[in-house]
Amino acid sequence: MSSTTNSDQMQSALQESRKFPPPAALAAEAHVGSPEAYEKLYKESIEDPEGFWAGAAKEMHWFKPWDKVLEWNCPDAKWFVGGQTNLSYNCLDRQVEAGLGDQTAIIWESEAVDAKGKPTVLNLTYSDLLSKVSKFANALKKLGVKKGDVVTIYLPMIPELAIAMLACARIGAPHSIIFGGFSAQAICDRVNNCESRFLVTADGGWRRGKSVPLKKNADGGMELTDRIETCVVVKHAQIDIPMKDGRDIWYHDVVTDASDVCPAEPMDSEDLAFILYTSGSTGKPKGIMHTTGGYMVYTYLTSKISFDLHPGDVYWCTADIGWITGHSYIIYGILPNRVPSIMYEGGPNHPGNDRFWDIIERHKVTKFYTAPTAIRTFMKWGDAEVEKHDLSSLKLLGTVGEPINPEAWMWYREKIGGGRCPVVDTWWQTETGGHMLVPKPGATTTTPGSCTTPFFGIDIAVVNSDGEEVPTNTGGILVIRKPWPAMLRGVFGDRERYIDTYWSKVKGMYTAGDGARKDEDGNFWIMGRIDDVIIVAGHNIGTMEVESGLVSHPAVAEAAVVGYPHDIKGNGIAAFVILRGDIPVGEEAEKLKAELAKHVAKELGPISKPDVIKLTDALPKTRSGKIMRRLLRDIAAGVEIKGDITTLEDKSIVEKLQKR
């Protein structure tokens, strides 16, 4: 099924009956070790959410205790009202003060290997990290960053990325992290929207043996806006780059003489922690706002329970910190749980297709969290790459970013997990801050393709547009009916968009934008998006952004973009393009398609590049001028068109497009 449909009532063709109970050895030691334990805690969390979340929050450090757990005035929530805490303090100081400063916090590994094939590895203890974070925090303050100032971070997966975000959290400066694959225009748009005056970047990063010129992209972004006053640059890839006097300054210069003591700023629980931009169904990215206390507590507890973290674990999430997965499940949720978190800079196939399995074997990873897109790619590369390595250290496997098809789920469990590891298939969003639907590895019987049951405190349901629950195994709108601590607090600078996007479809309920069904066992199955956002390789890509990128090319008059099933990425991007002039044929047509794809990649970043481009002289539109996107989805997927086309202005267009 395509993950882009506007129907409230989606039909499911997926039938899956295989079931896998929790491994007995894991269940015996798990934080939640039986179905009964889960049901009891879940019931308590729903019936007394304030009591439940107060108990969880007491596991963290607070400079000042809260006066009230929750204030809720739909759609606005305040959690741990009046309490003061600090994300950086709970990630670092709390461990050092507990005598755990010598324990490893982050294991960073570079893609690059030496002549003997040995990679560069850096182990940062909690004490090391606290010192480096404090130094950069002091440097930022010296550069003029004050509490409340938004700092934009555009870095590769290097230690300085974790250091920069924790330094911002330490001094109360919200960060806006931009994924290193985004373009100059994307940087400009985000800087302008959050009115950021400070940028942290690097000369470049490494990806599949080649350097990625980040500073060049950052310079392009800064040329498009005059907001950035100070740009701190990390020397990493040894790329020769220009430095603008009065604006650009080297990272190593600003931290050299900085003090390694910087007290953490007491932050109100509802103070803004960070802004993270996600694509929307319009061309303008949404700046999702997350605050301090509730997000801190929720990511800590979901990390602890979902991955069943214990002393002795080595945890690896393969996501980039530029996405919410990296925020929540590489740094902010993991470090307070006192287990080493691996950061890897580079691709999964350098120098060979077995790089991930090599990393797991060398570091004896116990908990592994990656995307279905990656899993399908590993399947394509073959079992032999896996069989080169001893993966017996693994105890748990996780998936994130999109629904995982049962075949990939089974391959993951059998080939990577050796048939012994539970697969924790997580459903959540940038907006939710943390896991919403997730198996509890010691308590949940899993079924391939299902993200199973809600996390504690999450009142989630499948409903129709009137908010009524739909029957078992009937597709509907996935909603959350009660507030949770890590929920978004708004869209930066756009209150109306916040309400329209998340709270207008079903009255009084948060609408996730996904369709789902609930089966007879109470397990949830995600069926796809109900709006025009395409999930590509785990990333939400707004169709309007891609269409805008195409139309910005001088040869293009109009474009319509839809998603279609893709063997590797889950969904691919198909673009139907109307040109300003005549449609070329043969080699000239292929040359133009390649040019258009390259143009979109330059404008929006490689992740947004169309996989298929069809040149056409018209699009299927209703008489009112509305493009019938469901027809384009069927055409892109190569399936029979069964829907009503009587409202089409010109029915012959469908047949023409099917032949292209």
pLDDT at residue 98 is higher than 80: yes
Q: Check: CB of residue 628 under 8 Å from CB of residue 621.
A: yes
**% of the chain at pLDDT higher than 70:** 93
Taking the CB of residue 253, how many other CB atoms lie within 10 A of it? 12
- Alpha carbons within 13 angstroms on the beta-carbon side of residue 321 total 30
- Asked if residue 499 has pLDDT above 50, the reply is yes
pLDDT at 263: 98
Listed in sequence order, the DSSP H helices in 288-445 are: 293-306, 324-326, 355-363, 372-381, 383-387, 406-411
Of 518, 396, 399, 515, give the one whose Cα is nearest residue 452: 518
- Model confidence over 370-429: pLDDT tens digits? 998 788 778 878 899 999 999 999 999 999 987 887 888 999 999 999 999 999 999 999
Strands 76-81 and 315-317: unpaired
Please give the domain boundaries of the chain with CATH numbers for all domains: 533-659 (3.30.300.30)
Q: In one letter, which amino acid is 588?
A: E
The full DSSP string for 428-490 is: --TTT-S-SB---TTTPPB-TT--BSBPTT--EEEE-TTSPBPPTT--EEEEE-S--TT---E
Query: What average pLDDT score do residues 272-285 get?
Result: 78
Instruction: Identify whether 351 is preceded by a cis peptide bond (ω within 30 of 0).
Output: yes
Rounded-to-integer distance, Cα 652 and Cα 479, Å: 39
Query: Which pLDDT tens digit goes with each residue over 559-610?
Result: 888 888 888 888 899 999 988 788 998 899 999 999 999 998 888 788 889 9
- Tokens read off for 362: 């060398």
Tokens of 432: 């939710």
pLDDT confidence of residue 13 = 41
pLDDT of residue 180: 86
Rg (CA), the chain: 24
Residue 373: the pLDDT is 77
Tokens 């609408």 correspond to what residue?
Answer: 511
Q: Write the pLDDT tens digit of every residue in 304-345.
A: 999 999 999 999 999 999 999 999 999 999 999 999 999 999
Q: What is the pLDDT of residue 656?
A: 80
Residue 4: is its pLDDT beyond 50?
A: no
The pair of structure tokens assigned to 559 is: 């474009």
pLDDT in tens, 433-461: 999 999 999 999 999 989 999 999 999 99
Average pLDDT, the chain: 91
Q: Which helix (H) or strand (E) holds 77?
A: strand 76-81
Q: For position 533, what pLDDT does the model report?
A: 60
How many degrees, rounded to 5, is the angle at CA 595 between CA 594 and CA 598? 85
pLDDT at position 368 is: 98
Amino acid at site 55: G
- 76-81 and 68-73 as β-strands: parallel, antiparallel, unpaired? antiparallel
Residue 3 has pLDDT above 50, yes or no: no
| Partners of 230 in the β-ladder | 198
According to DSSP, the β-strands at 248-250 and 476-480 are unpaired
Instruction: Tell me the percentage of the chain whose pLDDT exceeds 90.
Output: 70
**Least confident range of 110-114, 271-275, 343-347, 479-483:** 110-114
pLDDT at 133: 98
Q: For residues 251-280, give the mean pLDDT.
A: 94
State the pLDDT at residue 302.
98
Q: 92, 337 in Cβ contact below 8 A?
A: no
- Residue 67's SS3 state is coil
Instruction: Write the DSSP assignment of 223-263 as a string of letters.
Output: HT-S---EEEEE--S-------TTTEEEHHHHHHTS-S--P
Which amino acid appears at position 412 of this protein? Y
DSSP 264: P
Amino acid occupying residue 340: P
What is d(CA 608, CA 540) in angstroms, rounded to the nearest whole number?
Answer: 10
User: From CA 72, how far away is CA 457, in angstroms rounded?
Assistant: 15
- The span from the CA of 209 to the CA of 411, in Å, is 28
In terms of phi and psi (left: phi > 0; alpha: psi -120 to 50; beta: otherwise), the region of 632 is alpha
pLDDT band at 11 (very low <50, low <70, confident <90, very high): very low
- Average confidence (pLDDT) over 477-482: 96
Query: Which amino acid makes up residue 289?
Result: M
